[in-house]
Amino acid sequence: MPTRFDHVYVEAAGFHLPGPPIGNDAMDAYIAPLNRLSGRIKARILGENGILQRHYAIDAEGNTTMSHAQLAAAAIRDCLARTDFGLADAGLLAVGSSGGDALMPGFASMIHGELGAPPMETLSSQGICAAGVLAIKHAAQAIELGEHRHAIAAAAEMPSRMFKKSRFAPRGYDADFDAHFLRWMLSDGAGALLLTRSPSARKGLRLKLKWVHQKSFAGDYPVCMQLGLSPDRSTSFLDYPSSSEAEAAGALAIRQDIRLLPHLFDVSIHEYVKLVREGWVDSATVDHFLCHYSSARFIPVVEDLLDKAGLAIPRERWYSNLATRGNTGAASIYIMLAEFLDSRELHPGEKIFCFIPESGRISAAYMLLEVKAPDAPKIAQTSSRLAQPTPTPSPLADDLPAPPHDPDDAPAHLRHLLTHLAGIWHDYRSEVWRTPVVHKLVAGRFTVADYRNWTAQWVPQVREGSKWMREAVASLSAPFAALGALIETHAGEEQQDFRILYDDYMAAGGTAPLDALRRNPGGEALNAYLHALAATNNPLGLLGAIYIIEGTGQRIVPALLPLLRRQLALPPTAFRFLDYHGTNDQHHLQRWLAAVELAIAVDPDAARHILGTARRTAQLYLMQFHHILESDL
């Protein structure tokens, strides 16, 4: 739940960008391509990200022109110069960043020292893009609780030193795409906000911070963007015999696994939908949308997901400075907000919504600000200063379609059902990623024996799929004949899938005969439930089971498959089942949507049964995941 603020205002926002703006053609003087491959990567990435210029705190020879702490201090001074306050007025300095000039002490302490500021409370929030929002939240909470009247929140990033040619040259010809990618994406910059309980109404307005929300999904996903781990994420730079060996192995290169980025926007938009549903924000009343995205390539992605959720914010309300300032990580939203306030004429009542996704290990942050007239009454102090509101449910709450893992262009009359299915799905997905088997896989400790064990238990479960589907078809009455024919087609396509999975088991070293393989306790429970339900009259709820099962193949399997291939020394023939379902289950879900329409057209109450069965199937499928590592056949 977001943290609401009743007494926190943004007095000013400032920023600092080092050196002159550097266009795409001039980049080579700072972080030149190392070979023909890196040149092609550069052309491809710059052609997609929409960045036309950026700033670096290094010169063309690779020399540092100002320290990271100096960069942040310059932004803070710029912020304070826009106010009647000084460093001595601030009781807290909260800083967000991926890291400072030194591994320790904390970056906030180094900035405090660089500023030569009086004694004050400090906080260093280490992360990536969302770290800056957490600094804002900490500073705002201190003000809301009455600990401080004024606080400074700042964020700074300075990745250019990691990208210069001298650091890449020793291993340039071996540097992988994940390491090359971010060289053409990230740049340097810093921003700062002065938060206060006593706004001065500069420019005749006050800017109120309404709430801040941040949520991490690190328990659900592997590392996406990192610095300090080996390319396979298995070894810390501290575990190498020496720093030079860590450098040579590529453990000190910033990497981005771009295959995981779709999951970032998937969960981020779903979290936004929850904020709307709970009444924290209404997209129809958002006047200005400040969206931090690392590449213009993601603009249509975000736009499309918002549109599918029925929560589109018109593009004319979007604001971004990515093209001229580049992607400055945690500092991006600060610099964006400062330039926005400098360039826009605001009016009382306007709302500014900020969205900051972070790819590090998948997290998202959101802020809502509102423009207030200088004479607008302040909220009276309450006994519970951080009391949460009782949000007014959005009128869109019953009209939201499912998240993007479901079929596109869902008919309006199914949106209520799909919205509730989406909630069941995302809770299930999150729990799957935290089961022992997936946790071991994400941690890089998965073995061939683990995979063999998994497939051995899975084969008899998949073998039953077409059987309970056909039992269900036999239990349908005449009005559902068209639905029965569609399910029969699906069952026919999948009736031999278990043989593909059995071949995978054999390719992984399995030796047990097909009929000797057994489901684990979770698989047994799921199988019994599905067969029992299929034997009832008109078991329409089984469409909820298909939703969970097919969704697992379409949304979870594609993320697990690269991890399996990377960790297991097995031939491609050992992954044919997973590869097939990751590719084809989107088509299956389209058919599922058609089946739901047929069912509801005859019996509108089918939606209730579909939801109940989806919820119970998710519980039982999760039990199956929990038992995978318990025995080996």
Q: Which percentage of the chain shows pLDDT scores above 70?
A: 90
Which of 180 and 499 is assigned the larger pLDDT? 499
Handedness of CA 82, 86, 92, 94 (dihedral sign): positive
CA distance 330 to 304: 25
524: pLDDT strictly greater than 90? yes
* Non-local CB neighbours of 605 within 8 Å, separated by 6+ positions: none
> 315: buried, middle or exposed (CB in 10 Å: 19+, 13-18, 0-12)?
exposed
- Is the same domain home to 330 and 438? no
The pLDDT assigned to 306 comes to: 77
Give CA separation, 40 vs 35, 147, 256, 538, in Å.
9, 53, 18, 58
In a domain, 229, yes or no: yes
Is residue 325 domain-shared with residue 427, that is, in the same domain?
Answer: no
Total count of domains within the chain:
2
Q: Name the pLDDT band for 332 (thresholds 50, 70, 90).
A: very high
112 and 234 housed in the same domain: yes
Enclosing H/E stretch for 290: strand 288-291
pLDDT mean over 439-463: 90
Q: What is the mean pLDDT of the chain?
A: 87
CA distance 608 to 612: 6
Residue 248 CB-density burial (10 A; 0-12 exposed, 13-18 middle, 19+ buried): middle
- Tell whether 70 and 139 lie within a shared domain: yes
Per-residue pLDDT averaged across 448-455, rounded? 94
> Phi, psi at residue 363, to the nearest 5°?
-150, 170
Q: Do 277 and 164 share a structural domain?
A: yes
pTM above 0.85, yes or no: no
Q: What is the mean pLDDT of residues 95-120?
A: 94
Task: Over range 470-499, report the average pLDDT.
Answer: 90
Residue 383 has pLDDT above 50, yes or no: no
Task: Indicate whether 383 belongs to any domain.
Answer: no
Q: Is residue 380 part of a domain?
A: no
Within 10 A of 216 (CB to CB), how many other CB atoms are there? 16
Beta bridge partners of 256: 225
Q: For residues 59 and 141, is the Cβ–Cβ distance under 8 A?
A: no
CATH number reported for the structural domain that contains residue 281 in this entry: 3.40.47.10
Domain assignment of residue 106, yes or no: yes
Rounded Cα–Cα distance for residues 158 and 224 (Å): 20
Do 419 and 330 lie in one domain? The reply is: no
Same domain, 367 and 437: no
Mean pLDDT to the nearest integer, 223-247: 91
- Same domain as 365, residue 424: no
Q: What does the alpha-carbon distance between residue 618 and residue 622 come to, in Å, rounded to a whole number?
A: 6
Burial class of 603 by CB neighbour count within 10 A (0 to 12, 13 to 18, 19+): middle
Comparison of pLDDT for 631 and 318, the residue scoring more: 318
Q: Is 206 in the same domain as 296?
A: yes
Mean pLDDT of 344-360: 94
Q: How confident is the model at residue 496 (pLDDT cuts 50, 70, 90)?
A: confident
- For the residues 237-265, what does the mean pLDDT come to? 88
Give the model's confidence band at 402: pLDDT under 50 very low, under 70 low, under 90 confident, else very high: very low
Domain that holds residue 562: 412-630
Q: Are residues 368 and 508 in the same domain?
A: no
**DSSP code of residue 65:** S
**Predicted local confidence at residue 10, as pLDDT:** 97
DSSP string, 143-207: HHTTS-SEEEEEEEE-THHHHSHHHHGGGGGG--HHHHHGGGTB--EEEEEEEESS---GGG-EE
Q: Is the residue at 377 inside a domain? A: no
Integer-rounded Cα radius of gyration of the chain = 27
Who wins on pLDDT, 426 or 487? 487
pLDDT confidence of residue 470: 92
